[in-house]
Structure 1
Amino acid sequence: MANNKSAEKRILINERDRLRNRFYKSSVRTLIKNFFKELEIYKISKNPVNKENLQKVLSSAYSLIDKGTKKNVFHKNAAARKKAKLAAYLKAA
């Protein structure tokens, strides 16, 4: 256990940061899963409405990845890799 005030503060800050990191990482994983689900639907139907839904999910994933990068949850190259991977799948569809 912490022996001084600064160590107690570090414990609190580490917990806060851990929860923030967990939120961004799990949310991005969920959005990526939703993207692939929408992508499969679009590949089958080729419907413009489904493409619009796909674009919305992609946009929200990009947004959350960028916000996580800004808060140092993701390294900038890791974020770029995630976004490029999603863009490549969309382009191939």
Structure 2
Amino acid sequence: MAHSKSAKKRVRQSEEQRIRTRHHRSRLRTAIKSLRAAVAAGDQETSQQKLPETIALLDRMASRRVLHRNAAARTKSRLSRLVAKA
């Protein structure tokens, strides 16, 4: 348990950030899953519509450091190839 005032504040900040990051990561994973589901279902129109939205979300999460920028780039590349192949 933290003893000093600054350590207690740091614990509070870390907890708030953890909750915020969890929300963003969940939102991102849901968007990726829905895009992959649209591709798997063969719904070309929906997958073409969801791809830019998902890429924008990946960029935002990378800028907020929810995930590493290289991981975001890799995921964008893979999703783009998946939609193009479908």
TM-score (ref. length: structure 1): 0.82
| Amino acid paired to 1:86 | L
1:9 correspondence with 2:2: no
Inter-partner Cα distance in structure 2 for 1:37 and 1:86 = 12
Unaligned runs of 5+ in 1: 43-49
Unaligned runs of 5+ in 2: none
Inter-partner Cα distance in structure 1 for 2:61 and 2:6 = 27
Inter-partner Cα distance in structure 2 for 1:30 and 1:20 = 16
TM-score (ref. length: structure 2): 0.88
| Amino acid paired to 2:5 | K
**Deviation digits for residues 4-51 of structure 1 (CA, Å, limit 9, x no counterpart):** 111011111111111121112111111111011111222xxxxxxx43
Inter-partner Cα distance in structure 2 for 1:10 and 1:56 = 41
Inter-partner Cα distance in structure 2 for 1:19 and 1:62 = 23
| Amino acid paired to 1:34 | S
| Amino acid paired to 2:66 | V
Inter-partner Cα distance in structure 2 for 1:87 and 1:66 = 14
Map residues 21-32 of structure 1 onto 2, 5 A cutoff.
21-32=21-32
**Deviation digits for residues 43-76 of structure 1 (CA, Å, limit 9, x no counterpart):** xxxxxxx433212322221122111111111111
- Identical pairs, percent: 36
Inter-partner Cα distance in structure 2 for 1:33 and 1:24 = 14
